[in-house]
Amino acid sequence: MGSTAHGSNPAAGDDIKACAHTLAPEMIEIRRDLHRHPEVAFHEERTAGRVEDFLRRLNLEPRRAAGTGVICDINPAGASGAGRRTVALRADIDALPIQDGKDVPYASTVPGVAHACGHDGHVAMLLGAAAVLAGRRDRLPGRVRLIFQPGEELIPGGAALMIDAGALDGVSSILGMHLWTLQPCGRAWCNAGAMMAAADEVRIAVLGRGGHGAAPHDTVDALLVGAQAVVNMQSIIARRVDPLKPAVLSICTFRAGSSYNIIGDRAEMTGTVRTLDRGLQDQMPRLIEQVLKGTCDAHGATYEFEYRRGYPPVVNDGGVAEAARAACVAALGAGGVVSLPPVMGGEDFSLYQAHVPGAYMFLGAGPAPGADGRLEAVPHHHPRFDFDERALPLGCEVWVRAALRLLEG
């Protein structure tokens, strides 16, 4: 840990932007350390320990929650007066089970695990914000609660566990933020209303009758039926769903057969369904099973079908989103704040929003567009994922400004 967290604290000044940029080297060091030592969902012991050490050096009192989560209040007595608010800031801390494919000094040292979604940056930005806010603790008009959440990448996720552990007790509003490499560094957006999709899981098995590859007429080919079911299910989005209601149905795995000359009796598929409309989310299991049953009936096969509802859609509260957007304008300038369509990815931040008003922001962390206007960024969940670290002080500043706006009302 560098000297910023336990020496003369630059966050004690009034210039939030200057404080954030002074803290930038330490945020980069934290981010790179976490990147070298990633931990998958609910195994983030080292990560949580690093978070706790930093917060204690700010003379704060973090506590563990949900095993590897951390909750910490800044100005814990500040919300005791009438009309005082508690604003929560949440960062996710887990990595992905993916091999790091980057050739950089801070590449993952853990085989098969990498921070391929930017959560290491989320931790670093929120710790930076903690330093800035802790330096102003005597002047805060309320309380700020820091939530470092495990297990966002693994359904059912860690948000529900953190809520059960009291993360939202007394909270007036909550903010989340995600670095986004598909937009250039210095650009942000936070819409009122739908921001991210519901994320559901589909599991299907087609059951046929196996046999010799030379005698297909004596079999019910599960591979063939399954393949046709996959193709037929694509018509659900194209022909059964209102085109003004965004939806995604992707079958992402398909396993069938055991040998070149054996017709298999079972084909297994898994996939994901993404929707923004809760009514459409309710309809999708029925629509999928209709197509699956019809395809199997036509070929004499049967099926097993499981539809697992995941995170609900992330829907931003209008008032909290406006405060977050104003914070982005103050940090990035009016030209750095844009309005973009919702993202069809899922996030268990929506579970917090089911309890208190909340808003989720995206902060660009990709490269600048080239001469042709194209952004050559590596997408999230890719083995070579990385982001522009100049986004870290920007995110820190946005966190602080948004928290202060919500505290001040």
The catalytic site residues sit at 94, 152
C-beta atoms surrounding 261 within 10 Å: 7
Q: How many helices and strands (H and E) does the chain possess? A: 10, 15
* Token digits of residue 242: 């209102």
Query: Nearest to residue 365, comparing CAs of 343, 324, 336?
Result: 336
Contact between residue 127 and residue 51 where contact means Cβ atoms under 8 Å apart: yes
Contact between residue 198 and residue 278 where contact means Cβ atoms under 8 Å apart: yes
Helix (H, G, I), strand (E, B) or coil at 262: strand
* Token digits of residue 282: 């309710």
* Token digits of residue 6: 């336990």
Distant-in-sequence, close-in-space partners of 308: CB < 8 Å, separation ≥ 6 = 155, 200, 201, 202, 203
Burial 130-139 (b: 16+ CB within 10 A, else e): bbbbbbbbee
Bridge partners of 73, per DSSP, are 145
C-beta atoms surrounding 114 within 10 Å: 26
Phi and psi (nearest 5°) for 105? -60, -25
Distant-in-sequence, close-in-space partners of 66: CB < 8 Å, separation ≥ 6 = 149, 150, 151, 158, 161, 162, 164, 165
Distant-in-sequence, close-in-space partners of 380: CB < 8 Å, separation ≥ 6 = 116, 117, 118, 180, 181, 182, 345
Question: Dihedral of CA 142/146/152/155: which sign?
Answer: negative
Question: Dihedral of CA 3/122/334/193: which sign?
Answer: negative
Contact between residue 408 and residue 78 where contact means Cβ atoms under 8 Å apart: no
Bridge partners of 212, per DSSP, are 262
